[in-house]
Amino acid sequence: MSSEPRDPFSPGSVARQLDYCTFCPKMCRHACPVSTASGRETYIPQAKMDRLNQLRLGRGGWTAESTDPLWACTGCRHCTMYCDHDNEPGLVLFSGRAVAQQHGVTHPALASYSERFRTREQRLTEQVRTQFAGHLATSGEIGFWPGCDAIDKDTGDIAATLAVFERVGLADVQIVDAPQACAGYPLLAAGHRDLFRWHAGRVAASLRGFRKVAINCSACLYAVRAQYPAEGVNLRTEIVSLADLLAPAAGSLACPVEKRSVYYHDPCYHARYNGVLEQPRRALAQLVEVRELGWSRSDTECCGGGGLLPKTMPLVADQMAKRRLAEVQAAGGGMVVTSCATCTFMLKRNAPASVEVANLATAMAQLSETAFTVPAPAGDDDV
Ligand code: SF4
Ligand code: SF4
């Protein structure tokens, strides 16, 4: 791989990548979990890039049907791992979604998405303020921003995180009290780049009171670190993953006499964009023997949660999560821990009876017998 710095979203770079992929002998086809799970040749990276290239060159109209393959991508970057040209089909396909939006075309499942995103933000912000009153702050040394999926799908993970903070000497870390629940990755994945830029500016203002903020969503960590600067949004706050915060503190937790073994699933955005590989393993290793899945670290396989795939192709997304857990099931079951709220949700909802899925903080709380109370559920699951 070359180390040449480049912006995969720039028009010149997009055109070059599309041309390379169009004439490629499909070298990365095995790496795409969407085409593998769906069994559809039109969803291999080369075919998706070729489709976007034909649309770019004006060889076909921008319609819901012609743009369908653009939505068959989680942005997981696995194809890039096997590309001699360092091409970025995930990012380029997302840029194609933005062009589709400019042509007035979106995926049918994403109709009125910007309004739905705003409504969901308001609902989740109110929910976290109600369920975690007394644990909120607008400024401080370190803040914790749970992320929209944690609030929407399982606030037990947030409660567990606060309990672990208390136990490891991080009791001063409070939940960021902001009018935004999400850093905006879904807007990027939906092709709403203008709205994403506007949203990023508001998030930057909300986080300004903290020196450092830990977030529990791998895709939004990528969005904040890589796409905020690309959109000209300067964030003075340092943004880290929750695993970054927990790893050095985990040594304060009581170590079980007998360590059980636990699998770790690398979220693809953490593994291939954010460089979050060792931190969650270090945090877990204090309490368990960490077992590796067949596809792990920078070669991890996506759980199906990225790129809004659970909205646009829910059956394929679920099939990807099932594939991810099949290895554990075949080995007799066990516990799978991950470090992203979206991955946790996707894996949990597709786990067979023999497989228990837990987010990192919840696993740390359970394994160290740190008590926490799960708030009563609220809301729906529109993403
Ligand atoms: S990403 Fe690379 S390997 Fe995959 S189709 Fe494009 S040029 Fe070929
Ligand atoms: S980024 Fe992931 S989902 Fe998208 S084309 Fe590449 S391998 Fe497939």
Judged on CB neighbours under 10 Å (0-12, 13-18, 19+), 367 is buried
Last residue of a domain, one of 105, 139, 158: 105
Residues spanned by the domain of 214: 113-246
CA–CA separation, 159 vs 7, rounded Å? 39
In this structure, the answer to whether residues 345 and 326 fall within a common structural domain is yes
Which residue is closest in CA terms to ligand 2's atom 3? 73
Tell me, yes or no, whether 262 lies in a domain.
yes
Q: What's residue 350's pLDDT?
A: 98
Burial 227-248 (b: 16+ CB within 10 A, else e): bbeebebebebebbbbbbbbbe
| pLDDT band for position 228 (cuts 50, 70, 90) | very high
Average pLDDT of span 67-84: 98
Last residue of a domain, one of 105, 124, 151: 105
Q: What's residue 383's pLDDT?
A: 46
List of residues 6+ apart from 10 with CB closer than 8 A: none
- Give the pTM: 0.94
228 contacts 260 by C-beta, under 8 angstroms: no
Domain count, the chain: 3
In this structure, the answer to whether residues 101 and 120 fall within a common structural domain is no
Tell me, yes or no, whether 146 lies in a domain.
yes
Tell me, yes or no, whether 215 lies in a domain.
yes
The percent of residues above 70 in pLDDT, for the chain, comes to 96
For the chain, helix (H) and strand (E) counts, in that order, are 19, 9
Nearest one of 167, 175, 126 to 147, comparing CA atoms:
175
In this structure, the answer to whether residues 204 and 301 fall within a common structural domain is no
Average pLDDT of span 306-329: 98
Last residue of a domain, one of 204, 221, 246: 246
In this structure, the answer to whether residues 97 and 25 fall within a common structural domain is yes
In this structure, the answer to whether residues 262 and 345 fall within a common structural domain is yes
Q: What's residue 376's pLDDT?
A: 72
Cβ atoms within 10 Å of 272's Cβ, excluding its own: 24
With 90 as the cut, is the pLDDT of residue 315 above it? yes
Between residues 257 and 352, which one has the greater pLDDT? 352
Is 79 near ligand 2, meaning CB less than 6 Å away? yes
CATH code of the domain covering residue 195: 3.40.50
In this structure, the answer to whether residues 85 and 152 fall within a common structural domain is no
In this structure, the answer to whether residues 87 and 166 fall within a common structural domain is no
With 90 as the cut, is the pLDDT of residue 160 above it? yes
Looking at ligand 1, which atom is closest to the CA of residue 31? 4
With 50 as the cut, is the pLDDT of residue 361 above it? yes
Q: What's residue 4's pLDDT?
A: 41
Tell me, yes or no, whether 377 lies in a domain.
no
Q: What's residue 375's pLDDT?
A: 80
CATH code of the domain covering residue 96: 1.10.1060.10
| pLDDT band for position 10 (cuts 50, 70, 90) | confident
Starting from the edge strand earliest in sequence, which strands make up the sheet with 210-215, in order? Answer: 136-137, 174-176, 140-145, 210-215, 238-241
Between residues 37 and 259, which one has the greater pLDDT? 37
| pLDDT band for position 245 (cuts 50, 70, 90) | very high
Q: What's residue 3's pLDDT?
A: 40
User: If you measure from the C-alpha of residue 177 to the centroid of ligand 1, how many angstroms do you get, rounded to a whole number?
Assistant: 43
Average pLDDT of span 135-160: 96
In this structure, the answer to whether residues 99 and 67 fall within a common structural domain is yes
In the chain the beta strands, taken as DSSP E runs, fall at 136-137, 140-145, 174-176, 210-215, 238-241, 261-265, 289-292, 334-338, 355-359
Burial 137-150 (b: 16+ CB within 10 A, else e): beebebbbbbbbbb
Looking at ligand 1, which atom is closest to the CA of residue 45? 5
In this structure, the answer to whether residues 239 and 118 fall within a common structural domain is yes
Q: What's residue 380's pLDDT?
A: 52
In this structure, the answer to whether residues 140 and 224 fall within a common structural domain is yes
In this structure, the answer to whether residues 99 and 124 fall within a common structural domain is no
Tell me, yes or no, whether 76 lies in a domain.
yes
In this structure, the answer to whether residues 307 and 291 fall within a common structural domain is yes
Which residue is closest in CA terms to ligand 1's atom 7? 21
Is 69 near ligand 2, meaning CB less than 6 Å away? no
Q: Phi and psi (nearest 5°) for 361?
A: -65, -40
Which ligand places an atom closest to the C-alpha of 84? 1
| pLDDT band for position 7 (cuts 50, 70, 90) | low
72 contacts 35 by C-beta, under 8 angstroms: yes
Q: What's residue 256's pLDDT?
A: 82
Average pLDDT of span 238-265: 93
Tell me, yes or no, whether 2 lies in a domain.
no
| pLDDT band for position 268 (cuts 50, 70, 90) | very high
Between the two ends of the chain, the Cα-to-Cα distance in Å is 35
**Token pair recorded at residue 90:** 């995930």
SS3 for 114-135 is HHHHHHHHHHHHHHHHHHCCCC
Which ligand places an atom closest to the C-alpha of 91? 2
Q: What's residue 137's pLDDT?
A: 98
